[in-house]
Amino acid sequence: MDKDNNKTTFIFSSVMVVIVAVVLSVTAISLAPYQEKNSRVEKMKNILSSISITTETNQTETAFDKYITKQIVLNNKGEELTNNVKAFDIDLKKELDKSKTGNADKQLFPLFICNKDGKSFYIIPVRGKGLWGPIWGYISLESDMNTVYGVSFGHKSETPGLGAEIETQKFQQQFVGKKIFDESGKFVSVDVIKGGTNADDLHGVDAISGATITSNGVSNMLENILKNYIPYFKKQQTIAFTN
């Protein structure tokens, strides 16, 4: 074989491309189940984190099944649905994108009910936009469906030392004990306030210095997502008060 022949070079290159493509495809297919499992475990960890439960990777699924006692799917009116869709499998990003295509009436919202130390907690996934990309997380409410028990936030590309601080315990700890309803029962969410807030403010936390846009993103994220759950919470609160 003439190694200096252009045809030979072309054939050799083509064969190598095919071989590499096949190897990469086989590798991707073989690793897919492991990647999917890792993704599910990471999601479980984040959900549990909002109720202050941390686990080792090999214990996460067991802990999730132990503490998460019920999963509910709501529509955008806060009505509980009894379809075959599992709350855990709902992609919140895809559901929020439905509003951009005029399909807001088809949105689905997952709700996780937890039992910890004999008490019930309601865990809600949230998603919004920071300065450089998406931000997300989970917020847990106590049995009154009003008091924040904990939060867990994450981001894709916020600036270290600034917007990325939403992931820190210092920032997240501020939300504990805050209320999403005011004294009259009106939904007001929890606001991240630039310049700081008073210690007795039940509906506000201090913004991150130098990260106004990301801080505002957290505020908007909480309000925009939580409002979809308010009709359900109001109904449950009414039932609780009449029993």
Digit-coded pLDDT (tens) for 14-33: 888 888 888 877 777 776 66
- What is the model's pTM? 0.84
The whole-number pLDDT of residue 243 equals: 43
> Helix H segments across the chain?
6-49, 60-67, 92-97, 169-173, 212-226, 230-242
DSSP-derived secondary structure letter, 142: -
Name the stretches of the chain with pLDDT < 70.
Answer: 1-6, 31-35, 239-243
SS3 137: strand
Give the dihedral of Cα atoms 77, 80, 84, 87; nearest 10 deg. Answer: 80
The amino acid sitting at 176 is V
The whole-number pLDDT of residue 37 equals: 78
13 in Cβ contact with 3 (< 8 Å): no
